[in-house]
Amino acid sequence: MAERSFAREVAQLRLRAGEEFRGEGIVAITKALLQCGVGYVAGYQGAPISHLMDVLADAREILEELGVHFESSASEAAAAATLAASVMYPIRGAVAWKSTAGTNVAADALSNLASSGVNGGALIVVGEDYGEGSSIMQERSHAFAMKSQIWLLDPRPNLPSIVSSVEAGFELSEASATPVMLEVRIRACHLHGRFIARDNRRPSFPLAEARANPQRDTGRIVLPPASFAHEQDKIARRWPAAVRFIRERQLNEHFPVSGAEAGIILQGGMFNGVVRALQVLGLADGLGRPQIPLLVLNVTYPLVEEEITEFCRDKRAVLVAEEGQPNFIQQAIQSVLAQSGLSTRVHGKDVLPMAGEYTTSVLVEGIRGFVGRAVPPHMRPNLRSPPDPGPVLAQESVRALADIVPSRPPGFCTGCPERPIFAAMKLVERELGAHHVAADIGCHLFSILPPFNIGATTMGYGLGPASASAFGAKSGRRTISIMGDGGFWHNGLTSSIGNAVFNKSDGVILIVDNHYAAATGGQDLPSSRAASLARSTRHPIAEAVRGVGVGWVREIDDTYDVSRMRDTLREALGTSEDGPKVIIASSECMLNRQRRLAPVRREALARGRRVVQERFGVDEDVCNGDHACVRLSGCPSLSLKPSSDPFKEDPVAAIDQDCVGCGNCGEVADAAILCPSFYRLTAIRNPGRWERLRGWFRACVMELVWRASRRRPHTGPA
């Protein structure tokens, strides 16, 4: 876990009853789990829930004191399967991942879990990666909840609500023998807020006790005839129990307004946005008290039909503010009202957009549309127009920005070891033509963007090589598929490598090994190089690959060697050997490397020890302003500056102070035969005596040469 330390967050986990927690939403959830007496936590990292995993990984001491078992699962499927511990035993367990990507992977275990039902509370924390800032396909976790009958919580986005929904979630799970999903959106996970803590609780039923007294019940196992009984049980017993609990505990919140003929039913997660929209429209006051009644669904599945009918009974129309599609909640409400014979008109996706994030502006427009159609004037005495950026955006000078403001997608970090891999691929492409490239999930996916523009499809984590399967026949041009070390251990070893071996695929597989799960925050992996107290690391990818039967394996332990990288790729594309050709390109993630080494270097300097530091530079007067180097790099620290030579007007390349001296610039300039303007500076601080003497001697000789050249006449041909 090299990327950063979570010591401050870990300290927050120790807060006692009455003390105030200040911090991020996802860390608040972590603290809430401990307050609920959770017995075990598992999960797979990924934005926006990575910090839950990171903080717990750093909190070994606290977890040991409390007797809580924590696992960094190999995948979301493994994490979901961990919840099996709560099937037979009254142990509370929680798992977490990024959704819907992770929920897809976990779906097999989740279906089995939901069928069996649970004895101890089982909570699934899903970071709903939807809308701005999301890195995955735009889908809803809601569908998973519905298909497996897992209850879905969607609390109001403030820390006290989120924390209390963790507590309610465990209780609901136990009351209805059903796993419960807690959905938190990106912004809620990264929300800074406060809540008053309670003491942490030890699990009431220790894991050791379960191990000592194992229990079994074939009625809980998903096999006929039990599986048929499970379905009946869900409908006859678990569902009604859940609805009863939700209603009795008032998990959903009602903000009444007397005499109102219209109201809004909303997901809890939409609350702050809806209230802000109402404020902007003059329909709520500074405290957020609405003039239109609200029914806030902190539980979005299952719906409590009585709550819906009670809310709608005296209203002519309601608006359902439900983000994402399909509009499951709106459809369900319409069905409930139709069955109960109420004539309340249901608005939703008619005034709000069907797809996309419900930003404040979107909600303002939607609610304005609803108000215009359904809210009588006496309910909206202060209605006003929202602020309108339209006139500013229409100005000539602002419109002109469209032509100049460049797009700025994420990319490889300064000194990233993956950059030279793709530079080498570009060089091979130039030489041998374009190949079909199957991409995967991970930092390496940034290759699809400029300047590399490499990669045709991405089908899922660890599925890069599998997604090239159809092209695996031994004829014609080979495909190249890419997979990171994260994807490799998540799923890739079997689904991609094993699959390619078994089906005698002829393709080239490039495994990018940067020693961490870098894209999710630098977590450790089985193949991480650092020794870990809590986990078993240092399991080479090459051994695993050979173990499943790959014959042609090349390991490159320095990705910055662009020429070697290029030659190896060329060899893989040309060899006559059968079966998949696997190249494992390894160099440490530079972000993590710098975080690891910076303190070491600082200390060495402070103690007067010899310190060697490298960086690169460009000779401005040698650079010709063609920027071919940038087109093979895209490194943030390789930029341009104005030429100070009036006879070369194009901006010249320049390397800024952030350069970490990875060497990619020089290697690329060499391999692509660009230009001789790059140089590497190696600064030796606190040099040894011999080094100093040698340096002095060199300086003297060089000075003599310079003096001689100054005497050189500058008049005519020699």
Partner 1 sequence: MEEPATPGEVPARPISIAIAAMGGQGGGVLANWIVTLAEQSGWLAQSTSVPGVAQRTGATLYYLELLPWSGGQAGHGTPPLALMPMPGDVDIVIAAEWMEAGRAIQRGLVTPERTTLIASTHRALSVQEKSVPGNGIADGGKVFEAARQAARSLVAADMAAIARRHGSVISAALFGALAASGAIPLPESRFEDAIRSTGVGVEASLAAFREAASGALAGADMARTGLAPRCAPEMVAGHSDVLTERLGQRVLSLLPAGVHELALAACRRLAEYQDTAYADEFLERIARFQGLGGIAVDGEAGEVLFEAALRRIAAAMTYDDVMRVADLKTRASRFDRLRREAGLERGQILVVTEYFHPRLEEVCGTLPRALGTFVEENRFLGWLLGRTFARGRRIRTDSLPGFLTLALLARWGRYRRGTLRHAREMQHIDDWLALVRRFAAKDARLAIEALHCRVLVKGYGDTLAGGRGKFERIMQAAQALEGRQDAADWVRRLRDIARKDEDGSKLDGALATVHSFLSESSRSPPG
Q: What residues between 544 and 563 interact with partner 1 by CB under 8 A? A: 563
Q: Does 132 bind partner 1 (CB under 8 A)?
A: yes
The footprint of partner 1 on residues 658-697 (CB under 8 A) is 666-667, 669-676, 678-687, 691-692, 695
The footprint of partner 1 on residues 151-170 (CB under 8 A) is 156-161
- Helix (H) or strand (E) segment spanning residue 698: helix 689-710
Angle between helices 360-374 and 271-280 in degrees, nearest 10: 60
Near partner 1 by CB under 8 A: residue from 341, 433, 649, 711: 649
Per-residue HEC secondary structure of 525-536 comes to CCCCCCCCCCCC
Tell me how far, at minimum, the Cβ of 412 lies from partner 1, in Å: 7
Look at residues 421, 415, 453, 458 and name the one whose alpha carbon lies nearest to residue 434: 453
Near partner 1 by CB under 8 A: residue from 195, 301, 328, 461: 195
Stretch that binds partner 1, among 106-114, 193-201, 202-210, 475-483 (CB under 8 A): 193-201
Stretch that binds partner 1, among 138-146, 319-327, 375-383, 402-410 (CB under 8 A): 402-410
Near partner 1 by CB under 8 A: residue from 19, 22, 531, 609: 22
Write out the DSSP string of 292-323. Answer: S-EEEESEEES--HHHHHHHHTT-SEEEEE--
Near partner 1 by CB under 8 A: residue from 448, 459, 597, 630: 630
Near partner 1 by CB under 8 A: residue from 450, 547, 551, 574: 450
Near partner 1 by CB under 8 A: residue from 182, 308, 509, 638: 638
Near partner 1 by CB under 8 A: residue from 145, 152, 186, 303: 186
Q: Does 182 bind partner 1 (CB under 8 A)?
A: no
Q: Does 405 bind partner 1 (CB under 8 A)?
A: yes
Tell me how far, at minimum, the Cβ of 423 lies from partner 1, in Å: 13
Q: Which is nearer to partner 1, 114 or 668 (CB)?
A: 668
Query: Taking a C-beta distance cutoff of 8 angstroms, is the pair 682, 438 a contact?
Result: no
Tell me how far, at minimum, the Cβ of 682 lies from partner 1, in Å: 4
Bridge partners, residue 127, by sequence: 98, 184
d(CA 117, CA 174): 10
Q: Does 248 bind partner 1 (CB under 8 A)?
A: no
Per-residue HEC secondary structure of 399-466 comes to HCHHHHCCCCCCCCCCCCCCHHHHHHHHHHHHHHCCCCEEECCCHHHHHHCCCCCCCCEECCCCCCCH
Tell me how far, at minimum, the Cβ of 583 lies from partner 1, in Å: 22
Q: Which is nearer to partner 1, 408 or 607 (CB)?
A: 408
CB neighbourhood size of 702 (10 A): 10
Q: What is the CA radius of gyration of the chain?
A: 30
Tokens matching residue 533: 């107290």
- 3-class DSSP state for residue 382? coil
Q: Does 31 bind partner 1 (CB under 8 A)?
A: no
Q: Which is nearer to partner 1, 208 or 402 (CB)?
A: 402
Q: Does 599 bind partner 1 (CB under 8 A)?
A: no
Stretch that binds partner 1, among 74-82, 356-364, 573-581, 593-601 (CB under 8 A): 356-364
Near partner 1 by CB under 8 A: residue from 212, 402, 470, 606: 402
Angle between helices 328-340 and 305-312 in degrees, nearest 10: 70
d(CA 362, CA 352): 7
Site string for partner 1, 104-123 (x = CB under 8 A): --------------------
The footprint of partner 1 on residues 253-292 (CB under 8 A) is 271-273, 275-276, 279-280, 285-288
Tokens matching residue 603: 């200390």
Q: Does 411 bind partner 1 (CB under 8 A)?
A: yes
Tell me how far, at minimum, the Cβ of 25 lies from partner 1, in Å: 9
d(CA 73, CA 49): 14
d(CA 437, CA 448): 10
Site string for partner 1, 206-235 (x = CB under 8 A): ------------------------------
CB neighbourhood size of 252 (10 A): 20
Tell me how far, at minimum, the Cβ of 619 lies from partner 1, in Å: 6
Q: Do the strands 294-297 and 253-255 form a parallel or antiparallel pair, or are they unpaired?
A: antiparallel
Q: Does 433 bind partner 1 (CB under 8 A)?
A: no
- Helix (H) or strand (E) segment spanning residue 125: strand 122-128
Size of the site for partner 1 (CB under 8 A): 137
Residues in the chain: 718
d(CA 250, CA 264): 18
Tell me how far, at minimum, the Cβ of 659 lies from partner 1, in Å: 10
Tokens matching residue 437: 């490239």
Q: Does 359 bind partner 1 (CB under 8 A)?
A: yes
d(CA 427, CA 632): 9
Q: Which is nearer to partner 1, 162 or 468 (CB)?
A: 162
Q: Does 608 bind partner 1 (CB under 8 A)?
A: no
Look at residues 296, 267, 305 and name the one whose alpha carbon lies nearest to residue 183: 267
Stretch that binds partner 1, among 85-93, 176-184, 381-389, 575-583 (CB under 8 A): 381-389
Look at residues 689, 662, 664, 666 and name the one whose alpha carbon lies nearest to residue 676: 666
Q: Does 6 bind partner 1 (CB under 8 A)?
A: no
* Phi, psi for 457 (deg, rounded to 5): -140, 160
d(CA 335, CA 246): 20
Q: Which is nearer to partner 1, 272 or 334 (CB)?
A: 272
d(CA 318, CA 459): 40
Q: Does 394 bind partner 1 (CB under 8 A)?
A: no
Q: Which is nearer to partner 1, 90 or 160 (CB)?
A: 160
Near partner 1 by CB under 8 A: residue from 34, 47, 584, 590: 47
Tell me how far, at minimum, the Cβ of 457 lies from partner 1, in Å: 18
The footprint of partner 1 on residues 476-535 (CB under 8 A) is 519
Query: Taking a C-beta distance cutoff of 8 angstroms, is the pair 544, 505 a contact?
Result: no
Residues 6+ apart with CB under 8 A from 584: 511, 513, 541, 542, 545, 553, 554, 555, 556
Stretch that binds partner 1, among 340-348, 405-413, 498-506, 598-606 (CB under 8 A): 405-413
Stretch that binds partner 1, among 99-107, 173-181, 498-506, 646-654 (CB under 8 A): 646-654
Environment class of residue 393 by beta-carbon count within 10 Å: exposed (0-12), middle (13-18) or buried (19+)?
exposed
Q: Does 617 bind partner 1 (CB under 8 A)?
A: yes
Near partner 1 by CB under 8 A: residue from 219, 389, 549, 574: 389
* Phi, psi for 523 (deg, rounded to 5): -75, 160
Near partner 1 by CB under 8 A: residue from 9, 128, 129, 506: 129
Q: Does 19 bind partner 1 (CB under 8 A)?
A: no
Q: Which is nearer to partner 1, 158 or 499 (CB)?
A: 158
